[in-house]
């Protein structure tokens, strides 16, 4: 696999300035996938480390699969960066990295905080961070249907990753076209996850619930527009627009990174 083919288009990205960065919440990195924007993730974390960043919460599908040996070199460097920087790390499993504790135990020499959900207080509000697949009815199918669906999801993911890699190398737009064919189903998933997360937040006394899983555009939906619960989806790091939730000493907001393919260099 080649090195990362994407760079950050600074002119179209939004990196909020702040005096003190308290935490970053990132989701769906999919390390091990051709589509992972490793350069964008690296530069994002390094930028806010310079702003005093204290904590990073990785809220699921951090890995594309459960085999560290298959990680590309650049992805391995990113993993080492997370280990070397003096930050509090919180890891949440997703539907791709189901063996996350075992994965991290092979890489870290010490116990790593792995939890299905992370809660914390900020500005008198209780936040809950969770991957979101538990609110996706398709992912929760039981029996043989669940097994078959799981295999289909894996095949579909592999095809999507291959097509994105093809686009990056040949400057084509096959992946967006392919995604548009399934737009209706994707919107259903987005709706189900948001509804389930909101219900979960109400049941657990949360003021703000933060999800990933759906690979949608990063967004914040205010409590006034979502049954008195603020809903945040941090997006992913496998699409053109990547995102994260930045929590500062004053507020919280979405970081938006627009990524572009590296310009091709003609060989002479």
Q: Are 21 and 246 in contact (CB under 8 A)?
A: yes
CATH number at residue 138: 3.60.21.10
pTM for this predicted structure: 0.83
Q: How many domains does the chain have?
A: 1
Strand order in the sheet with 88-92: 6-8, 252-261, 241-248, 21-26, 55-59, 88-92
Q: Are 20 and 249 in contact (CB under 8 A)?
A: yes
Segments forming the whole domain that contains residue 213: 6-261
The pLDDT profile of the chain, 268 residues, written as one tens digit per residue, is 454 667 788 888 989 989 999 999 999 999 988 889 999 999 999 999 999 999 999 999 999 888 888 889 999 999 999 989 889 999 999 988 888 988 898 888 777 878 999 999 999 999 999 999 999 887 766 544 544 555 555 566 666 666 666 665 555 565 665 565 555 566 688 899 999 999 999 999 999 999 999 888 999 999 999 999 999 999 999 888 999 999 999 899 999 999 887 655 444 4
CA 67 – CA 240 distance, rounded (Å):
25
The predicted structure's pLDDT at residue 143: 46
Q: Is residue 50 part of a domain?
A: yes
152 burial (CB, 10 Å; 0-12 / 13-18 / 19+) is exposed
Instruction: Tell me the two tokens of residue 202.
Output: 């109400």
Question: Within 10 A of 242 (CB to CB), how many other CB atoms are there?
Answer: 27
Q: Is residue 268 part of a domain?
A: no
Q: Are 208 and 127 in contact (CB under 8 A)?
A: yes
Q: Is residue 82 part of a domain?
A: yes
Q: Are 91 and 62 in contact (CB under 8 A)?
A: yes
């Amino acid at each position: 696999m080649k090195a990362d083919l994407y760079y950050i288009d600074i002119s179209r990205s939004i990196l909020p300035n702040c005096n003190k960065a308290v935490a970053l919440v990132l989701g769906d990195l999919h390390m091990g996938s051709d589509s992972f924007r490793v350069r964008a993730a690296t530069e994002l974390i390094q930028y806010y480390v310079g702003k005093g960043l204290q904590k990073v919460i990785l809220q699921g599908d951090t890995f594309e699969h459960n085999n560290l040996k298959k990680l590309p070199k650049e992805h391995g460097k990113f993993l080492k960066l997370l280990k070397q920087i003096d930050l509090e790390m919180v890891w949440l499993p997703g539907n791709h990295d189901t063996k996350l504790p075992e994965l991290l135990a092979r890489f870290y020499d010490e116990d790593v905080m792995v939890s299905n959900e992370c809660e914390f207080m900020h500005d008198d509000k209780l936040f809950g961070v969770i991957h979101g697949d538990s609110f996706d009815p398709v992912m929760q199918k039981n029996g043989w249907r669940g097994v078959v669906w799981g295999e289909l999801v894996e095949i579909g993911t592999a095809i999507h990753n291959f097509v994105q890699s093809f686009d990056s190398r040949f400057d084509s737009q096959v992946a967006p076209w392919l995604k548009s064919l399934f737009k209706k189903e994707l919107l259903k998933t987005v709706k189900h996850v948001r509804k389930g997360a909101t219900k979960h937040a109400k049941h657990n006394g949360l003021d703000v619930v933060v999800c990933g899983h759906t690979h949608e555009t990063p967004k914040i939906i205010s409590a006034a527009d979502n049954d008195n619960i603020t809903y945040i989806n941090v997006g992913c790091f496998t699409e053109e627009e990547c995102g994260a939730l930045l929590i500062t000493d004053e507020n919280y907001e979405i970081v938006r990174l627009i990524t572009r393919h590296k310009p091709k260099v003609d060989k002479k």
